[in-house]
Amino acid sequence: MKLVILDRDGVINFDSDQFIKSPDEWKPIPASLEAIASLNQAGFKVVVVSNQSGIGRGLFDMAMLNTIHARMHKQLALAGGRIEAVFFCPHPADSDCECRKPKAGLFRDIAQRFHVDLAGVPAIGDAWRDLEAARSVGARPILVKTGKGQATLEQGLPDDVLVFDDLAKAAAWLIENKN
């Protein structure tokens, strides 16, 4: 199985320092939905891994997160794409949970659910925590410059981290270089 792991905010949709708290606030980054559809058409299963500390902070509840994700799935379906599963951490940033990136709990959950070794699996994010979580399970960390990506890039990255302008460019590269 060919798998791609994506962060949500800043990779698929525009991020917000005030959190994405409603479906109306969820706005896809141009060409991101089409990029996921192209990955699907090339045989990749796409999974999302996202810290959603707004739940733990009381900014929105599970029902609202489900509604936000329903909008994402619907808009993606209209673009011809599909996300296999969304894994998220609901805990606030000061939590000592194992699921909040940069820890690898959600990645281990993916490996278990899909019965796969994550070694070499592309994991696309816009922040250090995404890259660290990917690297800790042997996945291939990829940075996009959208969201927090440009600021992350300016901090300096290890040589093995691939960098692309956005999800569309990363997806095109993955499709062209798939094994």
Active site residues: 7, 9
Task: Quote the tokens at residue 85.
Answer: 């599963």
Give 13's DSSP letter: B
Please state, in angstroms and rounded to a whole number, the distance separating the CA atoms of residues 57 and 117. 33
Does an H or E element contain 84, and which?
none
Task: Quote the tokens at residue 117.
Answer: 């070794």
Q: What angle do CA 50, 19, 21 make, to 5 degrees?
A: 95
Task: Quote the tokens at residue 93.
Answer: 């940033």
Q: What angle do CA 89, 123, 116 make, to 5 degrees?
A: 85
Please state, in angstroms and rounded to a whole number, the distance separating the CA atoms of residues 59 and 65. 10
